[in-house]
Structure 1
Amino acid sequence: MNHTYNGMSTHELPALTWQKSRRSNPSGNCVEMAQLPGGAGVAIRNSRDPDGPALIYTTDEIVAFILGARDGDFDHLIT
């Protein structure tokens, strides 16, 4: 796989298995995440624009985000 970068087209990525949250709703208001090959990180895309750009994060960045969300660090954004 070539160098990955934030905002790259999903067409430039290898075939990935995208996953939505079980909390996603039928209106498509969700993001999808996929693990990059070889532990290179995680790609995130807008589920309403699956052919659009992807944000690329390292595994450490995703771990920090998920653990922070689990701890309630971002709860103020949804109230």
Structure 2
Amino acid sequence: MSSETGWIISSRSTGNGGSCVEARRQDGRIEVRNSKAREAGTVVFTVEEWDSFLFGAKRGEFDQLLTD
């Protein structure tokens, strides 16, 4: 398996160019960026950190951030 992938756009992103999150695997790490502000840079995670984040998100650990 290749250690690099192209950018993947979130399926939750809107089709009209808003709320777009992109991610890719690069040099054994996961990079995440805002597709509307690519020049702002990326947030970089280890594969283990990314796996832990996704696991927590799927379990609802961050749901309280969505409520006022």
TM bin (shorter chain): 0.7 to 0.9
> Which residue does the alignment assign to 1:45?
33
Per the TM alignment, residue 22 of structure 1 is displaced from its structure 2 partner at its CA by 0.8
Secondary structure class of the residue paired with 1:64? helix
- The partner residue of 2:59 within 62, 65, 71 is 71
Unaligned runs of 5+ in 1: 1-14
Greater relative CO (CA pairs within 8 A, separation 6+):
1
- The partner residue of 2:7 within 18, 21, 39 is 18
Secondary structure class of the residue paired with 1:51? helix
> Which residue does the alignment assign to 1:62?
50
Distance in 2 separating the partners of 1:27 and 1:17:
19
Unaligned runs of 5+ in 2: none
Per the TM alignment, residue 32 of structure 1 is displaced from its structure 2 partner at its CA by 0.8
C-alpha RMSD of the superposition: 1.7
Matched, 1:28 2:18: yes
With normalisation by structure 1, the TM-score equals 0.69
